[in-house]
């Protein structure tokens, strides 16, 4: 059964102004204090930002709902980072969500290598739809988006109402730089994806990610696309 949101859409501008100068840790604590079990943390186990948010949330509420979208095309290093983080951060409520279609079923219904022909459709099947199930019944979504990650994320709000998934979305690290994020990860000895030390700057599915390209330009090369659809409202 869906929980009722403890804040209304009308209150969001007030919190947006308040959080613009707040530290991410303060925002995460507010979210957990306010939404309780209604909070869900999206984790890709790819970037440093997501690992920082996980640490902040799990430090306050070890049983916070953490979800990962396993597209069936994740790097083995991503799986290993998830396993390490589950132990290191004592993640007590880590849930994996997958597409309703296996790789073989998707190929039968949509043709082989859909990501090479219509990556938006592939992302919809393997990320957006599972994300909807992961957030079902939740009232707040904690994400690791930062404004410096790409031009398209430059206006990322710290708090907003997310129409696509019908809940409050918080990006506590929106104001942080890459350097600030890495400083936090290193200072707290948080495990991170080893591919980040091997030339990858944005890690998604292995069939749509290349190393040696800055920012999100390393994803979906050959297409005018730098978002999977989770963070576009």
Percent of the chain scoring above 90 in pLDDT = 79
> Who wins on pLDDT, 93 or 199?
93
What pLDDT is stored for residue 6 in this prediction?
86
pTM as predicted:
0.91
What pLDDT was estimated at residue 150?
83
**C-alpha span between 170 and 157 (Å, rounded):** 8
Cβ–Cβ < 8 Å for 140, 31: yes
Q: What pLDDT is stored for residue 29 in this prediction?
A: 98
Q: What is the mean pLDDT of the chain?
A: 92
Residue 226 has pLDDT above 70, yes or no: no
Q: Which residue has the tokens 């990650």?
A: 149
* Average pLDDT, integer, range 119-148: 95
pLDDT of 1 strictly over 60 = no
Q: Active-site residue numbers? A: 228
Residue ranges and CATH numbers for the domains of the chain are: 18-216 (3.40.50.620)
């Amino acid at each position: 059964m869906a929980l009722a949101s403890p804040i209304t859409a009308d209150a969001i501008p007030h919190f947006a102004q308040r959080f613009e100068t707040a530290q991410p840790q303060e925002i995460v604590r507010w979210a957990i204090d306010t939404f309780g079990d209604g909070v869900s943390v999206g984790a890709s186990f790819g970037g440093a930002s997501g690992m920082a948010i996980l640490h902040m949330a799990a430090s306050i509420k070890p049983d916070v709902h953490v979800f990962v979208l396993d597209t069936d095309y994740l790097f083995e290093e991503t799986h290993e980072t998830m396993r390490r983080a589950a132990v290191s951060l004592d993640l007590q409520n880590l849930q994996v969500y997958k597409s309703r279609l296996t790789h073989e079923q998707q190929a039968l219904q949509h043709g082989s290598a859909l990501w090479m022909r219509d990556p938006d459709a592939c992302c919809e099947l393997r990320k957006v739809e599972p994300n909807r199930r992961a957030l079902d019944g939740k009232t707040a979504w904690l994400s690791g988006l930062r404004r410096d990650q790409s031009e398209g994320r430059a206006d990322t709000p710290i708090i907003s109402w997310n129409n696509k998934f019908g809940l409050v979305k918080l990006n506590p690290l929106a104001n942080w730089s890459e350097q600030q994020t890495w400083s936090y990860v290193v200072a707290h000895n948080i495990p991170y994806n080893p591919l980040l030390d091997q030339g990858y700057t944005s890690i998604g599915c292995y069939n749509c990610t290349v190393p040696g390209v800055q920012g999100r330009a390393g994803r979906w090369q050959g297409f005018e696309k730098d978002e999977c659809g989770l963070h576009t409202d």
